[in-house]
């Protein structure tokens, strides 16, 4: 499963376009830096066959857009090795259709291979403004002990099956209140989300602290 990391598995309709503004990415870019510093986002020859891992996104208005059309800015695919991202490293996802495994995006970079996991969360709750996907062996291995909502082991990240699993978690577990879940079939994969980037980032770091305290 680790070898699947970073490879786009959906049909991508990508039109190169202008960079987003620095302001549109400032909040998530700050948190991306915090996650990178902690090894939760990045790229390491010793991890996941050297593929970049982890990604971050934020919703863009209009916030009353229907599912499938909830536009978001997401870090570009294979940017894990870059210390500080600029607007040129982010993509704008404008439409997505998990049933047909399809993503429509524009911008200066192609979107993360895990865009359909992010859109799956946005479709479940229109108050969510930020989604962060990290790789944390510590949280992932403690997920059962922590009682974290966990997607089925058969669901691979960034696929329609993962979007279905995310929907199941929102229907059957307390994930909406906890704002974090583990990806059972995606080694070390954790997703946190929130009404702000701070809420998503703080949720993730609080759980990591909890694991470390034992």
Closest distance of CB 12 from Zn ion, Å: 17
Q: Of 107 and 189, which has the nearer Cβ to Zn ion?
A: 189
Residue nearest to Zn ion (CB): 189
The SS3 assignment for 84 reads: coil
Q: Of 149 and 189, which has the nearer Cβ to Zn ion?
A: 189
The SS3 assignment for 190 reads: strand
Closest distance of CB 5 from Zn ion, Å: 6
Q: Beta strands 130-135 and 189-194: pairing type? A: antiparallel
Token pair recorded at residue 188: 């070390």
Q: Of 123 and 188, which has the nearer Cβ to Zn ion?
A: 188
Closest distance of CB 78 from Zn ion, Å: 12
> Exposed, middle or buried, 76 (CB in 10 Å: 0-12/13-18/19+)?
buried
Closest distance of CB 76 from Zn ion, Å: 14
Q: Of 6 and 194, which has the nearer Cβ to Zn ion?
A: 6
Closest distance of CB 27 from Zn ion, Å: 21
- 28 with 18: CB under 8 angstroms? no
Angle at 143 between CA 140 and CA 149, to 5 degrees: 115
Residues in contact with Zn ion by CB under 5 A are: 189
CB within 8 A of 80, min separation 6: which ones?
A: 6, 41, 42, 43, 51, 52, 53, 54
- 110 with 91: CB under 8 angstroms? yes
Q: Of 38 and 195, which has the nearer Cβ to Zn ion?
A: 38
Q: Of 132 and 197, which has the nearer Cβ to Zn ion?
A: 132
Length of the chain: 214
Structure-token match 């863009």, residue found? 60
Closest distance of CB 72 from Zn ion, Å: 17
């Amino acid at each position: 499963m680790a070898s699947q990391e970073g490879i786009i598995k959906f049909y991508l309709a990508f039109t190169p376009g202008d960079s987003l503004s620095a302001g549109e990415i400032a909040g998530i870019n700050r948190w991306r830096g915090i996650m990178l510093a902690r090894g939760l986002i990045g790229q390491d020859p010793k991890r996941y066959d050297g593929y970049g891992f982890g990604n971050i996104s934020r919703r863009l208005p209009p916030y009353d857009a229907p599912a499938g059309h909830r536009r978001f800015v997401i870090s570009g695919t294979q940017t894990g090795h870059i210390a500080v991202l600029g607007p040129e490293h982010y993509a704008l996802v404008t439409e997505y259709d998990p049933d047909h495994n399809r993503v429509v995006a524009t911008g200066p970079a192609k979107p993360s291979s895990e865009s359909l996991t992010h859109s799956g969360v946005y479709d479940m709750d229109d108050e969510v403004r930020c989604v962060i996907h990290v790789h944390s062996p510590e949280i992932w291995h403690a997920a059962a002990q922590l009682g974290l909502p966990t997607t089925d082991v058969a669901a691979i990240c960034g696929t329609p099956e993962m979007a279905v699993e995310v929907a199941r978690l929102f229907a059957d577990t307390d994930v909406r209140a906890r704002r974090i879940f583990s990806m059972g079939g995606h080694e070390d994969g954790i997703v946190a989300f929130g009404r702000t980037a701070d809420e998503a980032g703080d949720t993730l770091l609080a759980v990591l602290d909890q694991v470390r305290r034992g």
